[in-house]
Chains A and B, each alone.
Chain A
Amino acid sequence: MLNRREMLLSLAGLGLLPLACSPEPRKKRLERLWFAAAGLDGPTHGIGFAGPEHRSEVVVTGFRGHDVTQDPTRLSRFVLSARRPGKRSVAVDLAHPGQLQEIPVEPGFVFQGHGVFNHDASRLYTTEADAETAEGSIGVRDGHSFKMLARYPTGGLGPHELLLMPDGRSLAVANGGLLKRGEPSLVVYNLDTMDASLSFISLENGQILSQHRVDEPKASIRHIDVTQDGTVAIGLQMQRKAAGHDHITPLCGWLRPGAPKIELFPVPEAYTELLRDYVGSVAITPDGHYAAFTSPVGGICLVWNTQTQKPSGAHAMTDVCGLAVQDDGFIVSSSTGVVRLLDFNQPKKALREWVFDHMQWDNHLISVQTWRTS
């Protein structure tokens, strides 16, 4: 049952109510906001956003999204990617929140949760998979009409997060390596043969430029982030049932530019164990000095200092997953509606906390400057 506020937000999201009723002239200003997929069920699912000085709002989309990406040329425009195995994604411009622009998936394919624009927003790239075989591909779409233009293989099954590399000419794609069919179940059909990889794909012709793996064959590469110099931080998820051992497995690492191999960070076992075999989100500072990894299973955000090669610390927070970098620290969010700012060096205690009642932040959070009319 929707409460009154949710009902009003839903109606506002559908364009049935004005978002602001003030007779004063509307002002446009640049504001820092956090965006994430949000909501508990169909009528409340949507793009949630809030900010340090802004109450939370939801633009209702009617389906559970996964990641949100911002149009770099029109800062009020966002795409909500459908959660795997999704059939719908949508674009929304906060200047016109009632007008959702549908992004359909081609028949026989499913969205895999993440998307990204290129630098001039002329293209939108989304991770997708064959609904039956889970063979991964990048859907290449016009960045405005979202008309499908091309499809590039990712070189693996079940691609998940993708990133535009700083040069703007290639994508980094995490191939989870798992065969999950086009159904929402959690069944994995290929635990024996799973093959996870990190692929770099040319945007010019879709060619796979290089592909990298970790030594542990049952570690699925699913979440990544990138620094200014093109270092890609990765977070792993262990398929423990298939591993056949109980050894604590490193879950955090990076691939430096030009390096042939992914380097796993020497995180002490006591910290790795807190992640409970599962990294749900990764963020690395633009200079690459600090990397953070969240685990909703462990209720933990681990911050790793890449210069000292030691943990800055760990922050306990129930169902934490959303993770983004700001100048002043890492921002983390949880399904309980909490957003916290964590210091790069001492993340144990939050620097600040914001509580957004009735908001359920989903897996991924972005922290961006955007135009808002108020």
Chain B
Amino acid sequence: MKIQALTALALLTSLSVACATEDPDRNDPKKLKAALRASLKAETVPAFLRFQTASRTLSEKSVIFCGELTTKSLAAAQDSFREWNLAWNAVRPYNFGPFANNVIAPRMNYFEYTRNAHGRDWSATVRASILENRDKEEPFKEITPNAKVLGLTAIEMLLFETTDTSTSTDADAVLSDFKTHVGKCGYLTYATHKVHVLAAETYEAWVTKSDESSLSFLDRMMLDRLETGDAPIAKLLMAFSEDLDYVKRRKLQGTRDAQLSGGFCDNVSSTLNAMEHFFAAEGGLYARAIARDFPKNVSLTEAAFKKAKEAAGQKDCPNDALVAAIGSLEGFVKRTMPDGLGVQMPVVNLSDGD
């Protein structure tokens, strides 16, 4: 009984101390929104603008290449793809809002189909589609191709390998393949144009007017809830952690992509840099966590980013080190930073086997 009384006293004391020291500023939702807006404006919006620009360049270089069919223009188109892929990897973590504009055929699917189709390798489907269309004058004149045969995988295959059984990546062979199979250019220009249009729509939705709403998505991120029912900041942090999980499971523990163009490790670095810059933006989320007196959460997350970037920066970014570092970073993004920011994350407890 005495112990119970002491325990009760201790509980009451701790509650009163907590109440007395509770700083109302700490959980001020307006300050969190201001920090989120600062990070979004400083990093997210420019990243989407870079992606739009890179998409336009890729489309233009593809058109130029198909007009010239020269070694030089092929190299330029290939380079623009590599640049596009870097820009793409910086925005792919934002798999919500404008990227998820449509339940059945979201824009995301037209960029990187596997992002929403975990565990499935569609490369054979894409190759089959290219093979089927390589000799058609205008491959998609009468049908609208499915997202799974467009986007990143298709454009890379078109630009970097031949359609014969050798699937050679030699530039001369690829150029010759384009000259032999007229449909390849039709396919390439269609796919890159589609990417360009959708990237422009995505940027527009972020900054001007988002889908089926008069507000920009940037402004909608300042609302209390998104259409999916969750708080914007929680949705964003969850999307980041899901993207890290996607890179880890699908690409590192599954099949690495960008093998034809050779930029896998750089692409991972691009994702990590984009996320880190987002948190570190002036007046952004790191600053907010520090202002809330959670500097340790920030320093731990910074250290996790550093480790992951180092692993991605090593020659050929060895799998084991990168898997471990990204797995660790994922935890900091979905737990440590939310704790530091006072953000209640979606529980995601409903899918554990029942």
Give chain B nearest CB distance to A270 CB in angstroms: 5
Contact of A360 with B229 at beta-carbon distance under 8 Å, contacts A186-B352, A240-B119 already known: no
Per-position 1/0 for B343-354, Cβ under 8 A of A:
000111111111
Cβ contacts under 8 Å, A1 to chain B: 18
A296 CB-CB contact with B under 8 Å: yes
- In B206-229, which residues have CB < 8 Å from any A CB? 225, 227-229
Interfacial chain B residues near A274, Cβ < 8 Å: 103-104
Closest to B234 in A: A336
Question: Closest CB-CB distance, A129 to chain B, in whole Å?
Answer: 13
Decide if B100 is an interface residue (CB 8 Å cutoff).
yes
A294 → B minimal CB distance (Å): 9
Query: Is A84 in contact with chain B by the CB < 8 A criterion?
Result: yes
Whether the Cβ atoms of A300 and B103 lie closer than 8 Å is yes
List B contacts of A295 (CB < 8 A). Answer: 351
The number of chain A residues touching the other chain, given as a range, is: 35 or more
- Contact status B229-A273, CB under 8 Å: no
Picked from A237, A320, A348, A362, the residue with its CB within 8 Å of the CB of B349 is: A362
Closest Cβ of chain A: how far from B242's Cβ, in Å? 11
Q: Report B-chain residues with C-beta under 8 Å of the C-beta of A321.
A: 350-351
Q: B9 within 8 Å of A by Cβ?
A: no
User: Whole-angstrom distance between the alpha carbons of A347 and B123 in the complex?
Assistant: 33
Decide yes or no whether A297 CB sits under 8 A from chain B.
yes
CB distance from B48 to the nearest CB of A (A): 21
Verify if B117 is at the interface (C-beta below 8 Å from A). yes
A46 CB, nearest partner CB in chain B, Å: 15
Q: Which residue of A280, A340, A353 is within 8 Å of B350 (Cβ)?
A: A280
Interface code A284-323, partner B: CB below 8 Å = 1, 0 otherwise? 0000000000011101100000000000011111111100
Chain B stretch 106-128: residues in CB contact (< 8 A) with chain A: 116-121
B351 CB contacts on chain A under 8 angstroms: 278, 280, 295-297, 321
Complex Cα distance, B230 from A246, in Å, reads: 31
- A319 contacts B103, CB within 8 Å? no
Q: Are A319 and B117 in contact (CB under 8 A)?
A: no
On chain B, the residues within 8 Å of A66 by CB distance are 354
A334 within 8 A of B: yes
Q: Are B354 and A83 in touch, CB under 8 angstroms?
A: yes
A40 to B346, CA, bound (A): 11
| Contact, CB under 8 Å: B347 / A360 | yes
Query: How many residue pairs at the A-B interface have CB separations less than 8 Å?
Result: 89
Contact with B along A199-225 (1 / 0, CB 8 A): 000000000000000000000001000
Closest A-chain residue to B238, C-beta based? A318
Chain B residues contacting A299 (CB-CB under 8 Å) are 228
Chain A residues within an 8 Å CB radius of B225:
338, 355
How far is A246 from B119 in the complex, measured between Cα atoms in Å?
A: 8
Instruction: Confirm or deny: B196 has a beta carbon within 8 angstroms of a beta carbon on chain A.
Output: no
Across-interface contacts of B303 in A (CB, < 8 A)? none
A173 to B353, CA, bound (A): 17
Which chain B residues lie closer than 8 Å to A336 at the CB level? 229-231, 234, 346-347
- B197 interface residue, CB < 8 Å from A? no
**Main DSSP-derived SS at the B contact region:** loop
Question: Within 8 Å of chain B (Cβ to Cβ): is A146?
Answer: no
Given A246-B119, A273-B117, A299-B228, verify A318-B346 contact (CB < 8 Å): yes
| Residue A265 at the chain B interface, CB threshold 8 Å | no
User: With A296-B351, A321-B350 in contact, is A348–B119 under 8 Å at CB?
Assistant: no
The answer, yes or no, to whether A181 is at the interface (CB within 8 Å) is no
Q: Does B105 contact A (CB under 8 A)?
A: yes
Q: Which residue of A is nearest B19, CB measured?
A: A4
Kindly report which residue of chain B lies nearest to residue A222, judged by CB atoms. Answer: B354
Pick the residue among B100, B103, B235, B350 that contacts A296 (CB under 8 A). B350
Please tell me which one of the listed residues B100, B116, B121, B353 contacts residue A186 in the complex, with CB atoms under 8 A apart.
B353
Q: How far is the CB of A64 from chain B (nearest CB, A)?
A: 9
A196 CA / B105 CA spacing, docked (Å):
32
Closest chain-B Cβ to A66's Cβ sits at a distance in Å of 6
- Asked whether any CB of chain B lies closer than 8 Å to the CB of A156, the reply is no
User: What string of 1s and 0s marks CB contacts (under 8 Å) between B324-354 and chain A?
Assistant: 0000000000000000000000111111111
A362 to B229, CA, bound (A): 15
Task: Say which residue of A83, A84, A180, A317 sits within 8 Å of B228 (CB atoms).
Answer: A317
Given the complex, which residues of A lie within 8 Å of B238, measured CB to CB? Answer: 318
In the complex, whether A160 has a CB less than 8 A from a CB of chain B is: yes
Write out the residue numbers on chain A whose beta carbons fall within 8 Å of the beta carbon of B104. 270-271, 274, 314
- Cβ–Cβ < 8 Å partners of A175 in chain B: none
Q: CB within 8 A of B235: which of A40, A318, A338?
A: A318
The reply to whether B347 and A316 form a contact with Cβ atoms under 8 Å apart is: no
Q: How far is the CB of B121 from chain A (nearest CB, A)?
A: 7
CB A340 to nearest CB in B, in angstroms, measures 7
A319 touching B105 in the complex, CB below 8 Å, given contacts A280-B351, A334-B229, A355-B225: no
Contact residues in A for B117 (Cβ distance below 8 Å): 273
Task: Report B-chain residues with C-beta under 8 Å of the C-beta of A314.
Answer: 103-104
Once bound together, how far apart are the Cα atoms of A363 and B347, in whole Å? 11
Q: Nearest CB to that of A295 among chain B residues? A: B351
Select from chain B the residue with minimum beta-carbon distance to A241. B119
Q: How far is the CA of A66 from the CA of B349 in the complex (A)?
A: 11
Q: Which of B100, B234, B348, B350 touches A362 (beta carbons < 8 Å)?
A: B350
What's the nearest-Cβ distance from chain A to residue B248, in Å? 16
> A362 — which chain B residues lie within 8 A by C-beta?
349-350
Residue in A83, A280, A316 whose beta carbon sits within 8 Å of that of B100 in the complex: A316
Residue from A270, A296, A316, A355 in contact with B348 in the complex, judged by beta carbons closer than 8 Å = A296
| Inter-chain contact B103/A363, CB cutoff 8 Å | no
* Residue from B103, B235, B346 within 8 A of A335 (CB atoms): B346
Identify B121's interface contact among A83, A246, A338, CB under 8 A: A246
Q: How far is the CB of A335 from chain B (nearest CB, A)?
A: 4
Q: Are B353 and A348 in contact (CB under 8 A)?
A: no
A363 touches B121 (CB 8 A): no
Q: Are A340 and B229 in contact (CB under 8 A)?
A: yes
Could you list some 14 contacts between A and B, CB below 8 A?
A: A83-B354, A113-B354, A222-B354, A270-B104, A273-B117, A274-B104, A313-B103, A314-B104, A316-B100, A319-B346, A335-B346, A335-B349, A338-B225, A348-B103
User: Which residue numbers of A lie inside 8 Å of B, CB to CB?
Assistant: 1, 40, 66, 83-84, 113, 160, 180, 186, 222, 237, 240, 246, 270-271, 273-274, 276, 278, 280, 295-297, 299-300, 313-321, 334-336, 338, 340, 348, 353, 355, 360, 362-363
Q: Which residues of B contact A (CB under 8 A)?
A: 18, 100, 103-105, 116-121, 225, 227-231, 234-235, 238, 346-354
Beyond A276-B118, A360-B349, 6 extra complex contacts between A and B, CB < 8 Å: A237-B353, A280-B350, A318-B235, A336-B230, A363-B350, A363-B354
